[in-house]
Structure 1
Amino acid sequence: MKEQEDMQTKEVILQVGQLLRQIRNEQKLSLEELAKKTGVSKLTLGKIERGETNPTLGVIWKITKGLSIPLSRLMVIEDIVNVARCGEGFIIEENQMWRLETIFRYKKETGLEMHRACLQPYSIYEAEPHHEGAIEFVTVMKGKISIQVGQEMYELNEFDSIQFEANRKHSYENTGNEVAVLHLTMKYLS
């Protein structure tokens, strides 16, 4: 089982690298130009493109923000009809407190992407601001979450939802003693 997970992870890492190279080439950028736009070193970008490293969520955010693309654009390629099974999407973990799993990656036709996030008890996750014009929709599926958007704090209980402009600083806090589960939908300007 562990071997199969390792193989799947390697395949995803290779795919992320291939997609990054493709997008960089579409935008006619050299690795050096991309490094300047993203703040990620040329060496790290090269390793990602070659599938030699598993980038952190912070690095992926910097890259997608620098390229002005949604996070999920670097994720798994979809078919015309997709079924998203829990635990089978592209997963990024941040400090073992925040786990983000792609449910449906960005499609230009809809301007949407969807994720499932899990936040460990008594943890805070500070999200990077998204692209200009991005709108985030969050529904708490399990637990209770405090979401700070800018200077304002919002308390959400199970099945409560919030919508906000995601290009602002925002964070999620789980003050409860169980893992909180969130569904996040991002809407980008097409």
Structure 2
Amino acid sequence: MSEITPPQIGPVIQKARKARHLTLEQLAKLSGVSRSMLSQIERSETNPTFAVVWSLTQALNIEFSDLVSGDAVARKSAMLDVVPADHVPFIASLDGMCRLKILSPPALAGKTEWYLVEIEPGGALTSAPHAARTREHFTALTDGLAITAGDTTTALTTGEVARYAADVPHAIANTSDTIASGWLVVLFS
């Protein structure tokens, strides 16, 4: 996979805010994101979390795909929405070893989320506990993956599905010497 530069969302947020004639203070009240954080985001001085980005898209009434692309890119009709592959948002771990393509629609964030996960050799997607009763379902698309939930670790082979508690510390690790991938579905209670 080639090196991908994260989108610069600050200028898009600023443009959308100004188009709605909102001050930073007004957008802060609408979104629940502090004025100082908004200022840092607009100047591209900070990388906001998914929750912050979600709050901003809702407050500005813009699509997540529009935010990360800088313009309207989704093709929409009454029956079908298509987001071009290069506009599907993704999250990368700080060490760059894990990449998650966000496949679920923004409206389902915090309810049901699904991702395409890619992990470099020796990398691990390690997560703190999510909300009570949250479950994850992971389908291995390659060999060399191990799932840990609490104190239990299990190796997966291609095609196997692991269903596990995600309200405890948990991880998906690549134990192979090649990039490993799978589908991750997160079900929040």
The TM tier, using the shorter chain, reads: 0.5 to 0.7
1:60 maps to amino acid: T
Alignment correspondent of 2:180: 180
In structure 1, stretches of 5+ residues that fail to align are: 32-41, 65-73
| 3-state SS of 1:183 partner | strand
CA deviation profile, 1:68-108 (whole Å, cap 9, x unmatched): xxxxxx94367673346655411221112001111123434
**Residue 81 in 1 paired to residue 74 in 2?**
no
Q: Are the counterparts in 2 of residues 135 and 188 from structure 1 also a CA contact under 8 Å? A: yes
Distance 1:115 1:166 in 2: 15
2:176 maps to amino acid: G
Percentage identity across paired residues of the two chains: 15
Alignment correspondent of 1:52: 44
In structure 2, stretches of 5+ residues that fail to align are: 18-23, 54-62, 67-73
Cα RMSD of the aligned pairs, angstroms, is 4.1
Q: 1:44 to 1:188 in 2, by over 3 A?
A: same
Superposition TM-score, scaled by structure 2 size: 0.64
Alignment correspondent of 1:34: none
Summarize the alignment of residues 147-186 of structure 1 with structure 2, pairs less than 5 Å apart: 147-186=147-186
Distance 1:133 1:89 in 2: 28
Alignment correspondent of 2:115: 115
Aligned length: 163
| 3-state SS of 2:104 partner | strand
Q: Are the counterparts in 2 of residues 76 and 105 from structure 1 also a CA contact under 8 Å? A: no
Q: 1:133 to 1:84 in 2, by over 3 A?
A: farther
Distance 2:100 2:162 in 1: 18
Q: Are the counterparts in 1 of residues 28 and 38 from structure 2 also a CA contact under 8 Å? A: no
Distance 1:156 1:141 in 2: 10
What displacement does 1:44 show? 4.5
Distance 1:44 1:89 in 2: 25
Distance 1:170 1:25 in 2: 35
What displacement does 1:114 show? 1.4
